Amino acid sequence: MEYITIGNVKIKKTAALAPMAGVADTAYRTVMKSFGASYVVGEMVSIKGLAYSDRKSAELLTVSDAERPAAVQLFGCEPEFVPAAVEIAERYSPDIIDFNAGCPVPKVAGNGSGSALMKDPKLFGEMVSAIVKVSHVPVTVKIRAGWDSEHINACEIAHIAEECGAAAVAVHARTKTQMYTGKADRSIITAVKQTVKIPVIGNGDVDSVESCVSMYRETGCDLVMIARGSYGNPWLFRDIDDFFGGRPPQSPPTLDERLDVMTRQIELLVKCKGEYTGMKEARAQAAFYLKGMPCAAKYRGMCGKLTQINDLYELIKLIKSENTEL
């Protein structure tokens, strides 16, 4: 098995879990890690919010020992708030601090943060420098290909990150205007890899062992990162880990296995966030696991009405009773 090193953090060269706001919470990350994700990154947290001691922001920074190696992710565009935010973030003992300069959603990019920083290389550099200056752990940066097809500047931005002391850069090979549509352009990752000496993490359209292997082969990246391909599918990390570990492929999960892992994740979610909030957030998570099975549309519709953990148990009972042959 090969490994890469980010700062002083050793990571298996298999597949990592990408940061996903509203999806990759502690429960999600813990389950993905248990199936072989080599590294996980938490949901993004506002630097300014942390500096003002926002309780909700701080809750997103919790990292359990079961998740390690793990990063917390910060976003923002005001360097003056960085020292206070990093000091608070480090209380949660992350292995790495990741800076988000790639989020395309309007409420982030529209305020000058996330992928908007790719239009302002000077401010981007100031933010990375400010974080590196006060952080006691390695600092990585997540970027996109560029703002739009007319402004592809991932190589320039990655070079600035390296010059400012970043220990690695993750590249989502889509532009901001693409959001999550179209196809990721892997040639962007290749170009970034040829531009910088720090590790490059490739992200975009990896949803199988084959696409993971081809990402490594085509781009020369140091680590592959999976986002939406992991939805309801922690077995993807197991299969990738088996491939690189030289082990034969395992059988796809049975219906019972899928439902058992779904239950484990949602029970952990409820434990972390309480039944009211946990079950509200579990609706989408449960739907991920049920995609593609017989009567999936009906069951996913029922997921939208989950309010108590017992509702989940009743849904599972119904699914099993109606799919005895699976």
Q: What percent of the chain has pLDDT over 90?
A: 94
Query: For 8-24, how does the pLDDT look when each residue is reduced to its tens digit (9 = 90+)?
Result: 999 999 999 999 998 99
pLDDT at 164: 98
Query: For 260-311, how does the pLDDT look when each residue is reduced to its tens digit (9 = 90+)?
Result: 999 999 999 999 999 999 999 999 999 999 988 888 999 999 999 999 999 9
94-122 in b/e burial notation, b at 16+ Cβ within 10 A? bbbbbbbbbbbeeebbeeebbbbbbbeee
Q: Which domains does the chain have, with CATH numbers?
A: 3-244 (3.20.20.70), 255-322 (1.10.1200.80)
pLDDT at 235: 98
Query: For 162-184, how does the pLDDT look when each residue is reduced to its tens digit (9 = 90+)?
Result: 999 999 999 999 999 999 999 99
pTM of the model: 0.95
Interval 197-226 mean pLDDT: 98
Active site residue 103: yes
pLDDT at 324: 77
3-state secondary structure (DSSP) of residue 68: coil
Examine the pLDDT at 55 and tell me if it is beyond 90. no
**Cβ proximity of 211 and 204 under 8 Å:** no
Please pick, among 103, 155, 164, 212, the residue that the annotation labels catalytic. Answer: 103
**Cβ proximity of 174 and 142 under 8 Å:** no
Query: What is the rounded distance in angstroms from the CA atom of residue 65 to the CA atom of residue 63?
Result: 7
